[in-house]
Amino acid sequence: MWRWPMTWTCARAAALAMAGLAAAGQETPLNNRAVWFRIFPEPLPEGVNSLALEASSQFLRTGSETSADGRSRAVLDGEDWQLTADLAWPLGPGRVNVRFRGVNSSGGIGDAAVASFHKALSLPDGGRSQVPRNRLDYELAANGRTVAELRRPATRLLGTDVAYAVGFGDRTAGGRVGASVQLPTGSDRDWSTDGGINGMAGVAGWRAWGRWTLHGQLEGVYLGLPAGSAFREAMPRRTLGRGWVGLGYRDEGPGFWRGFALDVTLQYHQSPYKTGVAWIDLPGVQQHWVVAHRNLPRWRFGISEDAGNFTNPDITLFAIYRP
């Protein structure tokens, strides 16, 4: 019921890896990587060892950073490189999963590439041409109080997630349920953590029909903001819901495409923020595209991007390795 291969022979691992991607889809989907969402608990994991590298380019449309009353401001411009390590082991009927996340934030080097992409497709650049390239400027102020900010390059350990998940069924039809706590290993001054112990409970399921698989995941998140936390100024409520629904396809045709797998997932996420800046107050939708191939059974590659509404703008490229 767990999606990716562990220690079988290469041939069997390849077959099971492709079957797993097609049957279970993004069983550990990515969360929104915009800086003000990275303090939230991670999605319910599947309980396998893995290592992931993510590169995110983040930008908030200029001219829309300030609330109507001028007391709140949100600025988002920078580049993050995140390394995520999952360590898992069996315990009783389920599996324990500990997730460590380290992130390096800087002005980066990706602005030119993003600008060229927009120009090639004749798309508006959202105001990127109006600010210095490769700038790091993460800032959130609510009701006249600075909540968090980061303007100098830094490497930080983010909150650590400890989860327990119980799976049922098989790769044709199945699912899992579980919960996690997020420990405040980081600083609440730069979005490494919100300073409290957060919680998450979720359920996932999938069903395969031939080469196609439908899958989904629903979660509720609780934020344990400590008394005196600056985040209380921006978050009048401590709960939010989020969900993913996706469709996976596995090709069994001749040649190169035999063993190719593609999964497309949409994520809906509520926001606990209420600042008067619509970009972070409103719910958002993201798209996640993941590809895999039997010739690289331990790897998957993908891209995550806002699905057209630009509520919480970021674009993330990622590679995930499962030993």
For residue 239, tell me if it sits in a domain. yes
For residue 197, tell me if it sits in a domain. yes
Per-residue pLDDT, 60: 80
For residue 3, tell me if it sits in a domain. no
Could you give the dihedral angle defined by the CA atoms of residues 88, 170, 290 and 270, in that order, rounded to the nearest 10 degrees?
A: -80
For residue 2, tell me if it sits in a domain. no
Per-residue pLDDT, 125: 61
**Are the beta carbons of 67 and 275 closer than 8 angstroms?**
yes
Per-residue pLDDT, 16: 36
Structural domain that includes position 89: 10-321
Per-residue pLDDT, 21: 38
For residue 4, tell me if it sits in a domain. no
Number of domains in the chain: 1
For residue 307, tell me if it sits in a domain. yes
Per-residue pLDDT, 31: 87
For residue 80, tell me if it sits in a domain. yes
Per-residue pLDDT, 5: 34
Per-residue pLDDT, 27: 65
> In the chain, which residues have pLDDT < 50?
1-26
| 20: Cβ contacts below 8 Å, ≥ 6 apart | 2, 3, 4, 5, 27, 171
- 3-state DSSP call for residue 163? strand
Query: Can you say how many angstroms the Cα of residue 131 is from the centroid of all Cα atoms in its chain?
Result: 26
Whichever domain contains 245, its CATH number is: 2.40.160.40
For residue 142, tell me if it sits in a domain. yes
Candidates 34, 32, 36, 20; CA nearest to 194 is: 36
**Predicted TM-score (pTM) above 0.75:** yes
